[in-house]
Chains A and B, each alone.
Chain A
């Protein structure tokens, strides 16, 4: 049989029409949609069993309780633990993205641990008369802080240095009817946010601040003063200086100050934050006994303020930057170092802080990789003990600052956290709140092992209330002087700190919405003549650095508000003035 060409063509044509009646071509068409949805390079989420684990957030002293939703062992989402007696289920934007921190691009991954140890040993040996070895602890009152104090005591010339702040004193918000805050971000990251929010209805907040911060926006009253005039106002309120002087310095009307004095008299008890010139009244500030400590640890160096160290006296400086705390500008530290080859070791997880200035940068684990305890928050009436139980393993080659410093000082240590927990358990007071079942029980009803296990699975020990605790006062930081006018540096600097560095997802709050002031940006009044987002140079007498500009009508003319970037903070000092010039 001969197939003709015509028949072949007819067959082909018929098949073409026929195949349209089959699913084949239509499936192929819809499959092409799938190809356009799943291009390579788009990451796919992991798979695994969904588990819930608990820990405490160690990014600040609030130490909020955290419930982590994990895929296998990897946390993918953090939230608060509702029902927690102190943190009330709150978690701030930084804590909500805490599980991203191990993957930060600015992570320090390696460091010369052996060389650093040798250099420190040499430095200690070379210490002359009047010279010392100092450990700078940016988040004091931790268990590790005790180790540093013990280590410095073991050295003949060891000093333990911490930023100012007294952890033996606590604020009781429930006792305050008025809170007078001199620029303290009461409603935006101070104390324990969950506790502040719960207590908010019970007090009237008067915010005294040069810029319209978040706290100023939410306060019952915001009094805008000139930068640096807080001291003058506080003295007038305390009656130690004439009101007219304060009015002159702050820019407030005399009547406003008089009205404020009357308010404080009638609407007490008043809690005063941010100034030591004016005393808090009632039982708003009380002494707080610390969480028990093993008896052997009492041989520990006292806390020294940085300012009280003699200049050019520190030969070896060990900076523990592993826990987030207040960044002290480098120039305040640098002048305490000896001029000939001081040894500076920074224990840091990010390259953005003191790593820029240190000789040796040693990598450490970051939340939520490492176990460490969190000091009691300032607004926690009773002492607390909680451990940031690790949720993921740190990378290899991480250094443990506690062990390094102890070894350098020849101090033998064991598992200090366990020893601390045992000492607390021995004192047999207070209660244990466990997160998994949201239950509270008296500590004396729990064995030491069960206590340790609970702390590592997500729990919080809260000391028993001490009704006989004496009234105390808060010590505030050194008073700011009113910045002197300077022709070529026309802007007064106001610092409002953000927790930095944070997860890359915080770009949502920074460049993607301008809701918060990004660490690498400064805020200026819209009348400054620069555009929003402009690149500029921020300059003070201490140097200059590149910043971006955010326009904010809440910042008055003549003022520049800076955020918490260490590079910018290095250029700031009390009363400093600046200029911002477009690049």
Chain B
């Protein structure tokens, strides 16, 4: 009927996270695990062997009371847009950047478990299944049918709730909307945050809250000098929090010991 010249309007899904609002409650971490069928910790798991697609770190300015300042920074896959480190290194092409959404997707079914991508990621956003997933008896009934559980030996990470994006696409198709337009949806963490610290949206859409906030001067990204162009922006009015984003402090003995 018509030419095949459909221009897909590409979205660049991203987030702004207001660090000044985050109180470290962990609702985002729980909502993410429920949505994505992340299993509870195995007995031997610690914070170094756990599966936390989004993880809230408690950071401080290294001072003692009364000059001590603390903040909470949720970190998930930053969905790097430029020379995405993990995409380049995966030997099996199990990681790719979706050009229509900007989301860095992981295919656990193709993952060999070589963990090269984990070494490549500077944000430590990738997690390995050191154990087979196990839920207490009966709790498998509560698994989300939109997401496949993974088995051991594969790497997994935040994919901006790809299952929800798919469901939104299907809904849009059922409503007759053109499939060249990006869809509106909300990942579990943004939906669950009780303080409203996480704003999700299409960074290409200048009308979206996320795009507007990302352009503001108090917005910054982690490790900007590495030039990975992440799509997760953090916001804070506090100077010391913005400094946190740059690079590690040398060992002063006052290093952060939580998380």
Partner of B41, one of A80, A93, A512: A512
- Tell me the smallest distance from the CB of A351 to a CB of chain B, in Å: 14
A420 on the B face (CB < 8 A): no
Is the C-beta of A519 less than 8 angstroms from some C-beta in chain B? Answer: no
Is residue A8 contacting chain B, with contact meaning CB distance below 8 A?
A: no
Instruction: Assess whether B26 is in contact with A37, with CB atoms less than 8 Å apart.
Output: no
Contact B27 A92 (CB under 8 A): yes
**List of B residues within 8 angstroms of A75 by Cβ:** 142
Please name all residues of chain B whose beta carbon is closer than 8 Å to the beta carbon of A71 when the two chains form the complex: 145
- Bound together, the chains give a CA A516 to CA B47 distance in angstroms of 12
**Distance, CA A147 to CA B60, complexed state (A):** 50
Which residue in chain A gives the minimum CB-CB distance to B28?
A: A93
| Chain A residues whose CB sits within 8 angstroms of the CB of B143 once the complex forms | 43-46, 76
Q: B179-203: which have CB < 8 Å to A?
A: 188, 191-192, 194-196
Enumerate B103-156 residues with CB–CB distance to A below 8 Å: 109-110, 132-133, 135-147, 149-151
CB distance from A66 to the nearest CB of B (A): 12
A458 within 8 Å of B by Cβ?
A: no
Contact B194 A197 (CB under 8 A): yes
Q: In chain B, what residue has the closest Cβ to A507?
A: B41
Contact, CB under 8 Å: B132 / A42: yes
Q: Is B227 among interface residues, defined by CB-CB distance under 8 A?
A: no
Once the chains are docked, how many angstroms separate the CA of A48 from the CA of B146?
Answer: 11
Chain A contacts for B85, CB-based, 8 A: none
Does the CB pair A217–B72 fall under 8 Å? Answer: yes
Assess whether A51 is interfacial by the CB under 8 Å rule: no
B178 is an interface residue with CB less than 8 A from chain A: no
Known: A45-B143, A217-B71. Is A92-B257 also a contact (CB below 8 A)?
Answer: no
CB neighbours (8 Å) of A105 from chain B are 136-137
Docked-complex contact A37 and B109, CB < 8 angstroms: yes
**Which of A14-22, A338-346, A353-361, A551-559 is found at the contact surface with chain B?**
A551-559
Distance between Cα atoms of A32 and B196 in the complex (Å): 46
Q: Say which residue of A42, A187, A553 sits within 8 Å of B258 (CB atoms).
A: A553
Q: Is A102 close to B, CB under 8 A?
A: yes
How many A-B residue pairs have C-beta atoms within 8 angstroms? Tell me: 192
Q: How far is the CB of A376 from chain B (nearest CB, A)?
A: 20
* A505 partner, pick from B40, B140, B146, beta carbons under 8 A: B40
Find chain B residues with CB under 8 A from A564 CB.
none
- Which residues in A have their C-beta under 8 angstroms from that of B55? 513, 515
**B142 contacts A512, C-beta separation under 8 Å:** no
Distance, CA A549 to CA B35, complexed state (A): 30
Which among A77, A96, A104, A105 has the greatest number of chain B C-beta atoms within 10 A?
A96
Docked-complex contact B50 and A103, CB < 8 angstroms: no
When the two chains form their complex, are residues B257 and A553 in contact, meaning their CB atoms are under 8 A apart?
Answer: yes
**B16 located at the interface, meaning its Cβ lies under 8 Å from any Cβ of chain A in the complex:** no
Q: Among B31, B71, B191, B258, which residue has its beta carbon within 8 angstroms of that of A552?
A: B258
Q: A197-B195, A514-B259, A552-B258 are in contact. Are A212 and B145 (CB under 8 A)?
A: no
B40 CB, min distance to chain A CBs, angstroms? 4
Asked whether, in the complex, the Cβ of A513 is within 8 Å of the Cβ of B47, the reply is: yes
**A78's closest neighbor in chain B, by CB?**
B34
Question: A532 — nearest CB in chain B belongs to which residue?
Answer: B257
CB pair A100 B29 closer than 8 Å: no
Judge whether B135 and A93 touch: CB under 8 Å: no
On chain A, the residues within 8 Å of B257 by CB distance are: 526, 532, 551-553
What's the Cα separation between A241 and B211 when bound, in Å?
55
Instruction: Report which of B34, B66, B195 forms a contact with A77, defined as CB distance below 8 A.
Output: B34
Q: Which residue of A lies closest to B49 (CB)?
A: A512
Per-residue contact bits, chain A 206-246, to B (CB 8 Å; 1 contact, 0 not): 00000010110110000010000000000000000000000
Given contacts A43-B140, A92-B194, A554-B70, contact A509 B26 (CB under 8 A): yes
Partner of B138, one of A93, A102, A509: A102
Is B65 in contact with A76, judged by CB distance below 8 angstroms? no
Q: Nearest CB to that of B48 among chain A residues? A: A512
B58 at the interface (CB under 8 A from A): yes
Contacts of B256 in A (CB 8 A): 553
Contact A507 B24 (CB under 8 A): no
Given A43-B149, A516-B26, decide whether A91 and B46 contact each other with a Cβ distance below 8 A.
no
With a cutoff of 8 Å between Cβ atoms, the chain B residues found around residue A509 in the complex are 26, 29-30
> Which of B29, B144, B147, B259 meets A93, CB within 8 Å?
B29
Q: Smallest distance from the beta carbon of A173 to chain B beta carbons, Å?
A: 15
Residues of A close to B259: CB separation below 8 A: 513-515
Beta-carbon nearest neighbor of B135 in chain A: A43
CA distance A217 to B194 in the complex (A): 17
Q: How far is the CB of A220 from chain B (nearest CB, A)?
A: 12
> Which of A48, A218, A550 counts the most chain B CB atoms within 10 A?
A218
Residues from chain B with a CB closer than 8 A to the CB of A553 are 60, 68, 256-258
Check: B204 CB closer than 8 A to any chain A CB: no
Verify if A508 is at the interface (C-beta below 8 Å from B): yes
B77 in the interface, Cβ–Cβ < 8 Å? no
Q: Nearest chain A CB to B167's CB is how many angstroms away? A: 9
Instruction: Tell me if A508 and B151 are in contact (CB < 8 A).
Output: no
B52 at the interface (CB under 8 A from A): yes
Q: Does B84 contact A (CB under 8 A)?
A: no
A93 touching B258, Cβ below 8 Å? no
Q: Can you add 11 more A-B contacts, CB < 8 Å, to A197-B196, A508-B29?
A: A41-B132, A42-B132, A43-B149, A50-B145, A197-B195, A212-B68, A217-B24, A217-B72, A507-B41, A511-B46, A513-B56
Write the residues of chain A forming the contact surface with B, with a CB cutoff of 8 angstroms.
Answer: 33, 37, 39, 41-48, 50, 71, 74-80, 90-93, 96-97, 99-100, 102-105, 187-188, 193-194, 197, 212, 214-215, 217-218, 224, 503-516, 526, 532-533, 550-554, 556
Give 6 pairs: A residue, B residue, CB < 8 Å, sorted on A. Answer: A77-B35, A96-B30, A193-B194, A215-B23, A512-B41, A554-B68
- In order of increasing CB-CB distance, the 6 nearest A-B pairs are A512-B50, A507-B41, A90-B194, A504-B40, A45-B143, A43-B140
